[in-house]
A = this chain, B = another copy of it.
Amino acid sequence: MHRLDRSLIAGLPAFQGLDDSSLDAILQSASSLRVTKDQAIFDQDSDAHSFFVLLDGRVQVVKSTPDGQQVVVRYIVPGELLGIAQALGRTTYPASAIAVVDCVVLAWPGKLWPEFATAYPSFGMNTYRTVGSRLSDIQAQVVEMATEQVEQRVAHCLLRLIKQSGKQTNDGITIDFPISRQDIAEMTGTTLHTVSRLLTGWEEKGLVKSGRQQVTVVEPSRLSVLAEGTARDNI
């Protein structure tokens, strides 16, 4: 078993405010893990045996309904926690996590959670800050879904994605992992057909460029305008 260096996690929000010896102690019980593209890190409703930090790659968090429909809840970028069911007082994972590219994660046994939270209070605090910000995010998403048209929702979704995972290219800002029309549809509660039509429409207007599992936003500011009220002109 090889040793993990504390520099792996030292800068991450979750481990802010911990001294070196604490970091080392925490890493003692971690195992690192490669996950290849399309592989699951954990499955919805299965026993929450571990919690994780994503070190490299991109992870899709997806919830499935009993009748097989899927909703993409969020994408995880390096440095973020995932699978923190324990922090929510749960014993099973509420969603599945899929590597959308090859990933590296650190994993800790879930039963260590309470120990960590008490032994390293700032770790507990940091985690709960994460949970809190995810609560805010998702509340915003509920408002969006309740009040906006599909076009605006998809526009907002793309803007969020390039903000979180955008890479500047000479065409514009591209989403730096493979994402299909279907994925975008599952994030916005619509269908791949509608997403496809919207993207081709926007492409004609020069707002985006897109291809197979790939989207580039050419003019974020004009897309923002679309994302706010197109139709209904407010006061």
Chain A positions within 8 Å of B, measured between CB atoms, are 63, 65-69, 71, 73, 87-90, 94-95, 117-118, 121, 124-125, 128-129, 131-136, 138-139, 141-143, 145-147, 186, 188-189, 229, 232, 234-235
Contact = CB atoms under 8 A, between A and B. Distances in A.
B136 A139 contact: no
A66 to B, nearest CB: 7
A145 B142 contact: yes
Q: By DSSP majority rule, is chain A's interface helix, strand, loop, or mixed?
A: helix
Give the interface centre of A71, A121, A133 by most chain B CB atoms within 10 Å.
Answer: A71
B143 A234 contact: no
A70 to B, nearest CB: 9
Nearest to A65: B147
Given A142-B145, A145-B146, A89 B189 contact: no
Contacts of A139: 63, 73, 94-95, 138
Contacts of A146: 69, 71, 145, 186, 188-189
18 contacts: A63-B139, A67-B234, A68-B235, A88-B129, A88-B132, A88-B133, A89-B129, A89-B132, A90-B136, A94-B136, A94-B139, A128-B128, A134-B135, A135-B135, A138-B139, A138-B142, A141-B142, A142-B142
Contacts of A94: 136, 139
Contacts of A232: 67
B135 A131 contact: yes
Contacts of A133: 88-89
